[in-house]
Structure 1
Amino acid sequence: METRISRRDVLKVGAAGAAALALPYAPVLRAKSASELDERRLPRPYAAAFRAPRVLTPVARDDVRGRSFGTLPVAPYTDITGPEYYGTEYYRITQKPTTANFISGVATTMWGYEGEVPGPTIRTYLRRDPRDGVKKPSRVVMQQINALPATHPTLRYVPWTSTHLHGSPSKPQFDGYAGDLTNPGEWKNYQYPNNCTPRTLWYHDHGVHHTAENVYMGLAAQYHVVDPELEDALDIPRFDPGLPVTDPRQYEFPLIISDVMFAANGQLMWDDDGESGVYGDVILVNGVPWPTMQVQPRKYRFRVLNGSLARGYRLRLSNGKPFQVIATDGGFMSSPQTVTTLTVGMAERYEIVIDFAGLAGQKVQLVNLGVKNARDFDHTGKVMQFQVGTSVLSTRGNTVPGVLGDPHPTMTLTPAMATATRRMELERSNGLWVINDETWDDVVRSRYERVFAHVEPNAVEIWEVTNSSGGWFHPLHIHLVDFQVLSRNGQPPRPEERGPKDVVYVGEGETVRLLMRFEHEEGRYMIHCHNLSHEDHDMMTQFQVGHHDIDCDSINTAPPKSGTPEPLEPQVEPAPEPEDPADDDPADPTETPEPTETPEPTGTPEPTPPAPTTTAPSTTPRRAPTTTTTAPTTTAPTTTAAPTTTRAPRRGTR
């Protein structure tokens, strides 16, 4: 259920809570390390072995076809009913405490999906339906159970959660809306239609005001939508589901890069640098400090995710050898891009292929050159090491073709198709992180009526984003849609950005122009900075697609539940209705049939069957919100203007 909580509510803590929040703080821009722990006890680079997260197996599955419905059409726009899915996979995931052995002799408390840090990977595949030969996704039902403690071990807040599948065109009630909170002891079933192109997604916590802390504790994992037919045709390095993740014949791996710091007792230390961001001094890859990975002298594919809270990375191989970028947030690029460095802002995903051929017997490091205004420490320039072997076990999937399939639909859009241009300014104003002079607290106090943009289903728009905040970059994430980066300060985007995106790195003083189509769902969706300290301190707003009643909002239609989680049972394909046998003697049209009596119900009535999990949209008329504030809009001459208001006056510190 959507919970209306303002930042003021969160800051109302007692004396004990205030003491817990008063964690050690010191400027770290030029510090040797960020941790309080004795430097001699910190992990050493390249001492630990690389580890891949396990792939989670569904608890159940079925082959019952269904359709993911979008929203009611609004003339002159077309209906946006989603494609059919081919069956459902059911997952049960428990958010619970665990420990990690980063420090010798210390069990560091973490939180993980299934008690794993990072959480297990979910891989779901497109399949051809034998009934019609059409390639279809499987729907995923993910039951998330909050089994976290009643309070955080040091910060003492209540660890409510809201799971966001980042990169998915989910319905509003399953998108991980920040106020759609699941408290400890509660659970919720999320539904994901996977009606998107093959891509690297990730699921992570999105609970309002505590996203940063919850992700820092470990609530993050990758999720892959895979087209095996396409990957086989391209013959790119790919995961073999028939082999364990530890098998040396696996040539595709997730790389979740993050950073942490340690208190004197070896537990995680929290210091968000005055709400600017957490910059740790220990780099983790898949939860392991600076690991060393054994590889063969051939091509490997890595699904790179920046899972840090505030640290951007500029990745490079220590030998300067180029590598190829084959996919971005939203899936495959039209053609691979060869680069020597790769800038990755928080929450961005890039699929890269590194060729270790010709490097047999050598050690190669993946290093971090850093980004502007980063807080760097002794070893934050290191990420991981590759130890190249001398033999190749398999040549399967050892190519990268010049064309990577059909163009992504977002990349076929042109600026001439846009019906409106909206402008967004990211600022630091009077101690507040703001978007167009407004914060998430403004949205809450408007009873969620306030929106940055009110767009129609299937509309194509340009959003122009300017960073005027000074010494910070902002990785801006727009929920629901993929977009095309048109330009950066009037220049073409970087080579690695020439694919479908859902996060854009907006550097200091930069203006980026984005092109997108709103083609999936109707409802309210979030826009925010993915520096999670910025997000938690209210650098977040929302947009609305289509028309709906805010008082009957879809976000509230799938609230979390308490008690024992319901079993995840596969559906059964309904049997066809039996045909009535033909009557040899046609009825006499003049004959009046005898009336039949309806028997009175007796005994205990049968329970009402549950509502279908995927239903067509209601035909009940919906009204637009009565008070909608939108961003400044420039509308194409041939199109009806989008709602426009002036920007709200600048507020001081509240």
Structure 2
Amino acid sequence: MLEKFVDALPIPTTKQPSRTIDGVPMYEVTMKEAHVHIHRDLPPTRIWGYDGQFPGPTFHANTGEPVCVLWKNKLPPTHFLPIDFTVHGAEKSQPEVRTVVHLHGGVTEDWSDGYPEAWFTRDFKQVGSYFSQPTYMYPNIQKATNLWYHDHAMGITRLNIYAGLFGMYIIHDDEERSHLLPTGYYDIPLILCDRSFHEDGSLYYPSQSEKPVKDVNPSVIPDFFGDTIVVNGKAWPYLQVEPRRYRFRVLNGSNARFYKMSLSNGHSFIIIGTDQGLVRTPIETSSILLAPAERVDVIIDFSSYEGESIILLNDAAAPFPQGGQPDRKTTGTIMQFRVGTTPTIGYKEPLPYILTTIPMLNEQEASCRRNLTLSMRPDQYGRNIHLLDDRLWTEPISEKACLGSIEVWTLINLSKATHPIHLHLVQFQILDRQPFDREVYEKDGTITRTGPRRGPERIEQGWKDTVRANPGEVTRIIMQFGPFTGLYVWHCHILEHEDYEMMRPYVVVIQ
């Protein structure tokens, strides 16, 4: 077992533009193989990273100021993780190593969105079937928020992200700056993920599930849970902090693991933001649940804990919510904060009561209401395929939204797991959740509600791009489609589910 809290938390580098074209900053990012030290006692680990970093460099952008990014693939021609060639999009007829970049939560035109079949290979020698190009435009027409970028190649997303192809993208604006929140050294991204390692330091990813699949090897697995928690590229790191307020922008970058975070001394977090920016008013809470791809923006005030060591804990079941509890010796621990004794100058005045305004979408203005199931069925090898609306990726597009229209989607979870559902392009609001009778629904398609309707949790009352759809519940979300037309996707963000059919295309059209 690796010793905890022996490596200092690294801070991802800030990406700088290489040049400016007609006033627009131009960035160049190279995907390449590298070897990095993830723990003091591990040999260097082979990763694939943006600019060879794990995680990739952090982008800082401003609202209303567009940027261009040239994504350059310089990866080896063969993958070092096990590819299942029976997965759609990863057949032996396709190049083993393919990449395409998605800015998760970004409001972008479709040609810059990272459509899964818009992949490209090293030096752009081979391209996918949909508007493949290496240069993307990000207009940054959103309010201040914490986004992230990651690989999105059809059939191998789980492997490419696990190899290290992910990083943060932060948008700032004047409203955020006006609140005198912690900045600079006291404003820190925390990118959480779980990994497993061989003794030689190399990444371990299983080629089979616990019950091997006959006639398929390697085989896609139902979900992946590593035995080591990694933050900003270090296993169980520590952070030396001053006795003052800090701001942490937390991202769950794991394939499938949920995190229910708390502090070992019982101290509270102050939530100031969620997926798509600031919440209306600060929220005090003792625990925070994050599904894969969700983000939370929090303040932790260390001013009353001089000289103490505080551990950031995890108490989320794996799989969530029906799996076993994490072991405090391993996956139940995330990192450590070491609070110094030297007084420092920090903001002492209370946080503002109002952080932002959030206009609420009106359900009565919805022009379309869709009932969409989250379900499973066996494939030809007896493995479970996770499906959206009981449809495969290759079936005709069934979700066609008109530009500017408001829709309500009811997600009907017939499975036993919570699925973090992500929609590209749009921001949405959570209306409510309610338990229903699964047997009745499977018999005649009727939603028979069996309990009270619950509004969104306090942490979910802002704009979202990923929602936890719980088993045995209907989850309703509302969104307005735009500002762009084109071809996008929606999917589960458990990467093993996404890769094996739990993803569907949708299109936004002019009415």
Which of 297, 304, 307 matches 1:361?
307
Task: Say whether residues 1:320 and 2:266 are aligned partners.
Answer: yes
Shift of residue 102, structure 1, vs aligned partner: 3.1
Per the alignment, residue 476 of structure 1 pairs with 421
Indicate which of 34, 45, 48 corresponds to 2:7: 48
Partner in structure 2 of residue 71 of structure 1: none
How far, CA to CA, are the matches of 1:172 and 1:385 in structure 2?
Answer: 41
**1:238/1:397 contact within 8 Å kept:** no
Following superposition, the deviation at residue 176 of structure 1 comes to 0.3
Aligned with 2:203 (options 248, 265, 268)? 268
Shift of 1:125: 1.9
Give the aligned partner of residue 424 of structure 1.
Answer: 372
Matched letter for residue 395 of structure 1 = G
Report the counterpart of residue 373 of structure 1 in structure 2: 322
| AA of the residue aligned to 1:496 | I
- Tell me whether 1:389 sits opposite 2:325 in the alignment: no
CA distance in 2, matches of 1:232, 1:482: 22
When residues 154 and 521 of structure 1 are mapped into structure 2, their CA distance, relative to the original with a 3 A threshold, is closer
Does the CA contact (< 8 Å) of 2:62 and 2:140 recur in 1? no
* Corresponding residue number in structure 2 for 1:150: 77
Distance in 2, Cα, partners of 1:533 & 1:397: 45
Equivalent position amino acid for 2:345 in 1: S
Matches within 5 A, 1:43-192: 43-61=2-20, 64=22, 87-102=23-38, 104=41, 106-126=43-63, 137-155=64-82, 158-186=96-124, 188-192=134-138
Aligned partners of 1:397, 1:535: CA distance in 2, in Å? 45
- 5 Å-filtered alignment, 1:486-565, equals 486-489=431-434, 490-547=453-510
Write the distance in 1 (CA, Å) between the matches of 2:231 and 2:161.
15
- Deviation digits for residues 72-128 of structure 1 (CA, Å, limit 9, x no counterpart): xxxxxxxxxxxxxxx4111000000011223536221101000000000000124xx
Post-superposition offset of 1:535: 0.5
Shift of 1:262: 1.4
Inter-CA distance 427–338: structure 2 relative to 1 (3 Å threshold): same
Deviation at 1:452, TM superposition (A): 3.3
State the one-letter code of the partner of 1:46.
F
The code of the aligned residue for 2:322 comes to N
Gapped regions of structure 1 (runs ≥ 5) = 1-38, 65-86, 127-136, 240-249, 444-449, 548-623, 625-654
Q: 1:292 to 1:398 in 2, by over 3 A?
A: farther
TM-score normalised by L of structure 1: 0.67
Give, in angstroms, the shift of residue 412 of structure 1. 2.0
Q: State the distance in 2 between where 1:108 and 1:89 align.
A: 33
Classify the secondary structure of the residue corresponding to 1:185.
helix
Kept in 1, the 8 Å contact 2:245–2:347? The answer is: no
Question: Match of 2:55, SS?
Answer: coil
Taking structure 1 as reference, are residues 223 and 154 closer, same or farther at Cα in structure 2, changes over 3 Å only?
A: closer
Cα distance between partner residues in 2 of 1:398 and 1:527? 42
- 1:326 deviates by 0.8
Q: Tell me the amino acid that sits aligned with residue 388 of structure 2.
A: I
Instruction: Give the drift of 1:301.
Output: 0.8
Question: Quick one: which amino acid aligns to residue 456 of structure 1?
Answer: C
Contact 1:237 1:398 in 2 (8 A): no
Residue 386 of structure 2 corresponds to 433
Letter in 1 for 2:66: R
Does the 8 Å CA contact 1:237/1:397 hold for their aligned counterparts? no
2:352 match: 401
* CA–CA separation in structure 2 for the residues paired with 1:116 and 1:412: 39
**CA contact under 8 A between 1:339 and 1:495: conserved in structure 2?**
no
Distance 1:178 1:197 in 2: 26
- Give the Å deviation of 1:185: 2.2
Q: Per-residue displacement from partner, 1:382-439 (whole Å, max 9, x unpaired)? A: 001100112243325975211002x23xx42121221221111111112211111112
Letter in 1 for 2:361: L
Larger Rg computed on CA atoms: 1
Q: Which is richer in strand?
A: 2
Shift of 1:151: 0.5
Output the CA distance in 2 between the equivalents of 1:49 and 1:193: 35
For 1:156-212, what per-residue CA distance to the aligned partner results, in whole angstroms no more than 9, with x for missing partners?
A: 671200100011111111100000011122271111111111110101000000001
Per-residue CA deviation, residues 126-149 of structure 1 (Å, 9 max, x unaligned), is 4xxxxxxxxxx2111000000000
State whether residues 237 and 399 of structure 1, in contact with CA within 8 Å, keep that contact through their aligned partners in structure 2: no
Task: Determine the C-alpha separation between the residues in 2 that align with 1:161 and 1:199.
Answer: 25
2:178 match: secondary structure: helix
Q: CA offsets per residue over residues 315-366 of structure 1, 9 Å max, x none?
A: 1111111111111111111111111111100000110111112111101111
Question: Which residue of the other structure, out of 276, 294, 319, is the alignment partner of 2:240?
Answer: 294
Q: Is the 8 A contact 1:118 1:286 kept in 2?
A: yes
RMSD: 1.8
What secondary structure sits across from 2:122 in the alignment? coil
**AA in 1 matched with 2:428:** F
Quick check: 1:111–1:148 contact (8 Å CA) kept in 2?
A: yes
What letter matches 2:363 in structure 1?
Answer: P
8 Å CA contact 2:482, 2:508 repeated in 1: no
Cα shift readout 1:275-321 (whole Å, capped 9, x = no counterpart) = 21110000000111111101111111111100000000101111111
Q: Match of 1:412?
A: 360
Distance 1:518 1:46, change over 3 A: same
Aligned residue pairs, count: 452
- Which gives a bigger RCO, structure 1 or 2 (Cα 8 Å, sep 6+)? 1
* Equivalent pair of 1:433/1:439 in contact (CA under 8 Å): no
Q: Contact (CA 8 Å) 1:262, 1:269: kept in 2 or not?
A: yes
Identity %: 34
SS of residue matched to 1:234: coil
Q: SS of the counterpart of 2:498?
A: helix
1:264, distance to aligned residue in structure 2 (A): 4.3
The alpha carbon displacement at 1:519 in A equals 2.6
Distance 1:396 1:420, change over 3 A: same
Report how far residue 479 of structure 1 moved: 0.5
C-alpha spacing 1:493/1:110, structure 2 compared with 1 (3 Å):
same
Could you say if the C-alpha distance between residues 534 and 105 of structure 1 is closer, same or farther in structure 2, counting changes exceeding 3 Å? Answer: closer
Alignment of 1:559-578 (within 5 A): none
Deviation at 1:508, TM superposition (A): 2.1
Which digits, 9 at most, give the CA deviation of each residue in 1:571-623, with x for residues without a partner?
A: xxxxxxxxxxxxxxxxxxxxxxxxxxxxxxxxxxxxxxxxxxxxxxxxxxxxx
Separation in 2, partners of 1:521, 1:392:
50
Q: Is the 8 A contact 1:469 1:508 kept in 2?
A: yes
